[in-house]
Amino acid sequence: MFRFVSPPMPHFIVCGEDTYTAGRKHPDRSNIGVFDLLVVTRGCLHLEENGMPLPVPAGHYAVIRPDLSHKTEKGCEEETHFYWLHFQTLGTWSAEPDLLPFVAAGLESPYAQIETFAFELNRTGHLQHKEIVYEAFTEMIRLQADGGTPTKWECQQLFLTLLRKIQEESSAAQSSPQLVLANRVIAFLRSHYAEPLSYTRLAEQLHFHENYISLCMKNIYGCTPLEYLTRHRIEQAKHLLIHTNEPVSLIAESTGFGSFPYFIRCFTRHTDCTPKQFRMRYRK
């Protein structure tokens, strides 16, 4: 599967459609510099990437890497219609053999309130509700023909929706139980961060043993639930320190730390400065 670290999100470049008669072959290409998303509606494209077979039958999709060579393994055996779309990312990406833990890089600027995340997309997949994907391509092709800034904006939005739909429709939608539970943990922590939280409460709320909850978070996000909770509380505290005049003690309470000395210790450990120093630095 491909892992895209976002933001920035992958961005749309150009798309189209084509129909190959029996015997026709896809052009040989190498290091094209963009990802090539292929969605076949009928027939089959018999491709190979770096010498490895990559067949794309009707109702399936494939993503061609920007840094490898790809060509036709053999010509189409029947009339084959497909949509194609080129996209790229200004962020980092990697090809992963399996779902691996993702740990977001820290940010130095307190104003860059960006929640970095990893977006995984299987290299190939079967589309369960392919008509929705086909309709999205048809609309993007229409918008692209119109041109102009407004339609380019609409294309980008539709492309991201399409990318999300393909992820859901492919086997990537059948997420591992650990990924599903880890995301439930994060949703609960972000909704209740200002309240007293413990592994016991998580276990009662999510109906899983606390050891398994912690294991899922470590395997998927590289941290324990309480480590994630502390980081999220720190980010909320940063926002309040910069944008409000609330006393530090009240901020400690409203972000769920409870104990003022504990808040000072946690904040200093994560930011290398006290809350007061942080506020003075960015409120001059």
Domains located in the chain, CATH noted: 2-171 (2.60.120.280), 177-282 (1.10.10.60)
Which string of b and e fits 12-32 if b means at least 16 CB within 10 Å?
Answer: beebeeeebeeeeebeeeeee
d(CA 279, CA 267): 12
3-state SS record for 98-134: CCCCCCCCCCCCCCCCCCCEEEEECCEEECCCHHHHH
Pair of tokens at residue 118: 């990893």
Band the pLDDT of 147: cuts 50, 70, 90.
confident
pTM of the model: 0.69
User: pLDDT tens for residues 261-280?
Assistant: 999 999 999 889 999 999 99
Percentage of residues in the chain with pLDDT exceeding 90? 61
**Can you give the pLDDT at residue 172?**
47
Contacts of 7 (CB under 8 A, 6+ apart): 91, 114, 116
The pLDDT tens digits of the residues spanning 38-65 come to: 999 999 999 999 889 999 999 999 999 9
Tokens of 277: 């120093």
